[in-house]
A = this chain, B = another copy of it.
Amino acid sequence: MSDSGLDRAAETGGEPRRKGRLHVATVETLRQMIVSGTLPPGQKLREQELCDRLGVSRTPLREALRTLAAQGLVTLSQNRGAEVAPLTLDDIAQLFDVVATLEALAARLACSTISDEEIAEIGLRHYRMRLHHARGELPEYFALNQQIHRALIEAARNPVLLDIWEMMSSRVERAKYLPNLQGERWHAAMSEHDAMLAALLARDGEALSGLLRQHFANGLATVLAAASQAAPAG
């Protein structure tokens, strides 16, 4: 392969990136950086600089920025470039309202269509998540938590809903990076998941829907509390 002398992806950080689909890979990389806070909210994103950091040219980078803008992670201005979308407490509250509603819808739909096998798989993940919770392994807990919620959406058998949920979930993850989930709230969240699993087993859509709303409301309260501690005047 004529590498054209660009070891482009060759390596800014050691990620072995496949050569194909540069702009797709770029979207993913940038999403990670934004979600994890490596690129803080409000950060101005100058194209050339990002090109250098990521080892791609401006064309795929620009396409990636457009995609991220559609997902609400960056904002674009007229001839003024892009910046990481801000993430105020209001934004988070509004976001949680929407996502809670979407998951509540998914709960109702899922309870009437989900198979025993799918429930079993969710149960499996649930108990693995419990294990990590008991061990205090937060990242693994988060990953399984995400998988469980996603499985619920998928069980709703509504691709439109799945699409829109995936789009929102990037933003939700950003919020989760704000507070360090721990202690009281973590235990409470785990208990809520216990109740949710029970409702799912009973295929009680209304109950599950309500539990999800409460789950998000509680999560939001935690984020807000943590934030107000960090920046009281916020």
Contacts and interface: CB of A to CB of B under 8 A. Distances in A.
Instruction: Indicate how many identical chains form the complex.
Output: 2
Nearest to A105: B101
Nearest to A162: B94
Nearest to A93: B158
Contact of A91 (B21, B97, B160, B167): B160
Interface in A117-169: 158-161, 163-164, 167-168
Contacts of A95: 160
Interface in A53-86: 59, 62-63, 66-67, 70-72, 78-79
Where chain A touches its partner, the secondary structure class is helix
Contacts of A161: 94, 97-98
A102 interface: yes
Given A101-B105, A105-B97, A71 B72 contact: no
Contacts of A20: 78-79
A91 to B, nearest CB: 7
B67 A70 contact: yes
A97 to B, nearest CB: 6
Interface in A161-211: 161, 163-164, 167-168, 171
Most buried by B among A71, A79, A163: A163
CB-based closest 10 A-B pairs: A70-B70, A94-B158, A94-B160, A101-B105, A95-B160, A66-B66, A63-B66, A98-B160, A98-B161, A66-B67
11 contacts: A66-B66, A66-B67, A72-B160, A98-B102, A98-B161, A98-B164, A101-B101, A101-B105, A160-B168, A160-B171, A164-B164
